[in-house]
A and B are shown apart, each in its own frame.
Chain A
Amino acid sequence: SQKIEQNSEALNIQEGKTATLTCNYTNYSPAYLQWYRQDPGRGPVFLLLIRENEKEKRKERLKVTFDTTLKQSLFHITASQPADSATYLCALDKGAAGNKLTFGGGTRVLVKP
């Protein structure tokens, strides 16, 4: 069956360091992958989208890679700040028509000053 896995354990990181989150998937051939940020009590907010033919995408201090051979995406937050503390979700399309995004369970990041 199709599966998306994100590390369910919280990632504790010191301010200024790079946080790296993984999103692994099985039995998918996604055309694109999205990353969202979710703060407590709020809805997810879109951050980045990467297509299957793109190896890497950047936005300010964020970087996403997409390896369709390994079936993995990595999400990096460089020069992390306490304000980056949140849960980060990856989402893959199911390749069907319509609104068929499937989300991973998310990884909580805690950046300590």
Chain B
Amino acid sequence: EAQVTQNPRYLITVTGKKLTVTCSQNMNHEYMSWYRQDPGLGLRQIYYSMNVEVTDKGDVPEGYKVSRKEKRNFPLILESPSPNQTSLYFCASNRQGPNSPLHFGNGTRLTVT
């Protein structure tokens, strides 16, 4: 089954404790991206990757890091989480090309206290 898998689904952590949210896709998609979703603000892009070792900032990259060492994986790293990073995070992948629709994971709900 074609899917984007994120882990964990729920995460509660404390300020400053480094964490990684994993994302993996099995569709051989070139593009992968991370979004956060907040009430009243909608989905906002954090980072995206057009291929292995190629990443770029989205609209809200501050406080996040990503890496794309393999085509299927695109982890999101929070080196020093802060409470304003409490949010619902989605990973997405799509084929190369401007019309290609996004395939989303089921989200990771992160709470930073």
Contacts and interface: CB of A to CB of B under 8 A. Distances in A.
Asked whether A and B interact, the reply is: yes
Interface of A: 8, 31-32, 34, 36, 41-46, 49, 51, 89, 91, 93, 98-106
Nearest to B38: A105
A21 B22 CA distance: 34
B48 A46 contact: no
Interface of B: 4, 31-33, 35, 40-45, 48, 50, 56, 59, 90, 92, 94, 98-99, 101-107
Contact of B105 (A43, A89, A104): A43
Contacts of B45: 99-102
A102 B42 CA distance: 9
Contacts, number: 61
Which of A36, A42, A99, A105 has most B Cβ within 10 Å? A99
Contact of B104 (A8, A34, A44, A104): A44
B61 to A, nearest CB: 13
B106 A42 contact: yes
- Shortest 6 CB-CB contacts between residues of A and residues of B: A43-B104, A46-B101, A103-B43, A105-B42, A99-B48, A99-B33
Contacts of A93: 98
Contacts of A31: 98
A97 to B, nearest CB: 8
Contacts of B4: 43
11 contacts: A43-B105, A43-B106, A46-B102, A89-B43, A91-B43, A98-B48, A99-B33, A101-B102, A102-B59, A103-B35, A103-B43
